[in-house]
A and B are shown apart, each in its own frame.
Chain A
């Protein structure tokens, strides 16, 4: 075994040497024959050459669609098959989208998800990270547990959530196959709730989505915060301890300011991520984002991305794609505004 290892290392050594020597020879050859320009490209040309594969893909699948959707949002009667359109409208498509009752509901749904789940995830994530940093035994075990949601498929998690929060009007009256959440409620003597099935209310379904968003978002945040906390010099805490600062005070006055760059990064990315919520609603509710409640109608839990997808689904009709594009641009504008605000606030509040 050792002999094999030795041979392998020798082999790798020789390969590396050969490559190095031959590359030196090649460049010497070029120099000698006045071909030095081949090895001495200007820096920017080299950079473009290396970036080209990525740039090509980005151009085709990201930059062009962004640009195009911006254009489409100003067309009227746009046909996605032929690419023909009747004419231009400046804000017509935007007006249609903004006046649509479903769009207002979608903005409201999304806003609730953003403004409830993001602060909760950050605060809870921070506390868990501090707790993880403080314990020694089973640390990696807990780290694994908290990191699991990050590597688990959203739809698989959705199925598990569907089990946990299962229960509708009928199964509650005749308690068979109630979900985990309802069983726990029953043990404590509470009334089972139809969380996301028939008989659900807006807030019961929304709270499940929020629980899911918080839990699903925790993993990555904990890892980032933990890395930040582990990078803080222990002497700051020792110094604070000698000065009689309580643990809570050390946390708010030392830990939080010193990892504020991480918190800020997490805040911006998770606000953007939450504004784009889609798959979690599909996983927990259904792919329509609607809970049908008998004859009275339905509970609408569509997010903005849902709304865009709904339009894309109906885009075989002329002009509908323009509504989808307009909605997408509106979402972009909302995210842009919030990010700019956060960056402005961050300038004053974040200590790099």
Chain B
């Protein structure tokens, strides 16, 4: 089931009549059978988008298509979606079995079949031995699985996950995101999930959409988005430790930081002042590079983070631990083609 959003817009009006455009003119196509992450800082409209797809929020403008069906005006229960809420919204007074069976009670199927489906789903998410417990007796990860099972049991066309991992601890998060990916692969259901955690989004999504203030910034595969950010926002948002942003210039096709550090070459760009983005891991040792003082260093296992100043700006470089051992200064340069050049005015990348 392919999902198309066409110029989807949501405007919230508060009591004083002030308007907030939570989602602004969003046009994206979510390919069938893929796991797509909506990513952005809090308040960027990603949950609003999800709830509009679910039908819980009415769009102020634009259209939503599931395949060829226009579902913009359709009630949530008629859309054939499964939604997993951030806090799971499991009914606390029902057992796990009753929780998973709840969506089936509203369908026209027999009790035996429903019971069978519940067990089948519980097996899929790995909670078949917890069926007679109440949600409060389960751990966060198990509750999460119950919520997914409940969303999937009625065989929805689309699965929507709202910040599915934010209530779990770090270890469980890792485990659950693999689990979600597995379940998605096994069922082949088109899945959209919302997160503010870039690592989470990058690790499980087939495609990623980055939103900021309700406006789509970029949609691409996680790795290509990381390697080729379309603008300054995406570049800054992705990556941990974050990308170094430093003011630089292009003179005669040379990309320069300050007056004497050349980091790259750009033949086809106009001379002028630009913002340069260099990821910490894109520095390398180079006898011909610029001198870097190694006073300020953090050893983090395999890698070493060096903080060094260029002019007023502190940059971070992530390098191999072995090579900096006991050296006072080292020479660094930037890997070929890894300098991102952004226009100063618009923040767009210059190719």
Contact = CB atoms under 8 A, between A and B. Distances in A.
Interface of A: 233, 235-236, 238-246, 249, 253-254, 257-258, 260, 351
Given A238-B56, A239-B83, A245 B106 contact: yes
Given A241-B56, A242-B82, A254 B91 contact: yes
24 contacts: A233-B89, A235-B89, A236-B91, A238-B83, A238-B85, A240-B102, A241-B56, A241-B76, A241-B77, A242-B77, A242-B81, A242-B82, A242-B83, A243-B77, A243-B103, A243-B150, A244-B103, A244-B106, A245-B77, A249-B105, A253-B102, A257-B91, A257-B93, A351-B92
B89 A239 contact: yes
Contacts of B55: 242
B76 A351 contact: no
A45 to B, nearest CB: 39
Task: Report the 9 A-B pairs with minimum CB-CB distance, sorted nearest first.
Answer: A351-B93, A244-B77, A243-B103, A244-B106, A235-B89, A257-B93, A239-B89, A242-B76, A235-B85
Nearest to B79: A242
A244 B89 CA distance: 15
A236 B87 CA distance: 10
A249 B106 contact: yes
B204 interface: no
Contact of B54 (A233, A242, A254): A242
A254 B54 CA distance: 21
Nearest to B83: A242
Interface of B: 54-56, 75-77, 81-83, 85, 87, 89, 91-94, 102-103, 105-107, 150, 154
Contacts of B93: 257-258, 260, 351
B106 A243 contact: yes
Most buried by B among A235, A246, A254, A260: A235
Given A242-B54, A243-B103, A236 B89 contact: yes
A238 B75 CA distance: 12
Contact of B102 (A245, A257, A351): A245
A288 to B, nearest CB: 49
Contact of A258 (B75, B92, B105, B107): B92
Contacts of A245: 77, 102, 105-106
Contacts of B92: 258, 351
B163 to A, nearest CB: 12
Contacts of B75: 241
B103 A238 contact: no
A239 B85 contact: yes
A253 B94 CA distance: 9
Nearest to A256: B93
Contacts of A242: 54-56, 76-77, 81-83
A215 to B, nearest CB: 31
A242 B83 CA distance: 8
Contacts of A260: 93
A194 B77 CA distance: 53
Find the residue from A240, A242, A244 having the highest chain B CB count within 10 A: A242
Contacts of B91: 236, 253-254, 257
Given A238-B56, A258-B93, A244 B107 contact: yes
Given A238-B89, A243-B77, 18 more contacts: A233-B89, A236-B91, A238-B85, A239-B83, A239-B85, A241-B56, A241-B75, A242-B55, A242-B81, A243-B106, A243-B150, A244-B77, A244-B103, A249-B105, A253-B102, A257-B91, A351-B92, A351-B93
Nearest to A237: B89
Nearest to B104: A243
A245 B150 CA distance: 14
A258 B87 CA distance: 17
A260 to B, nearest CB: 8
Contacts of B103: 243-244
Contacts of A243: 77, 102-103, 106, 150, 154
A3 to B, nearest CB: 31
Contacts of B81: 242
Contacts of A241: 56, 75-77
A241 to B, nearest CB: 5
A243 B99 CA distance: 11
Interface centre among B81, B83, B150 (most CB of A within 10 A): B83
A239 B151 CA distance: 9
Contacts of A351: 92-93
A40 B91 CA distance: 48
A38 B106 CA distance: 68
A254 B83 CA distance: 18
Contacts of A254: 91
Contacts of A235: 85, 87, 89
B53 to A, nearest CB: 11
Nearest to A241: B76
Nearest to A260: B93
A236 B102 CA distance: 12
A238 B106 CA distance: 15
A241 B85 CA distance: 13
Nearest to A240: B102
Nearest to B134: A351
Contacts of A258: 92-93
A246 B318 CA distance: 57
A253 B103 CA distance: 12
A257 B75 CA distance: 26
Contacts of B76: 238, 241-242
A350 to B, nearest CB: 9
A290 to B, nearest CB: 48
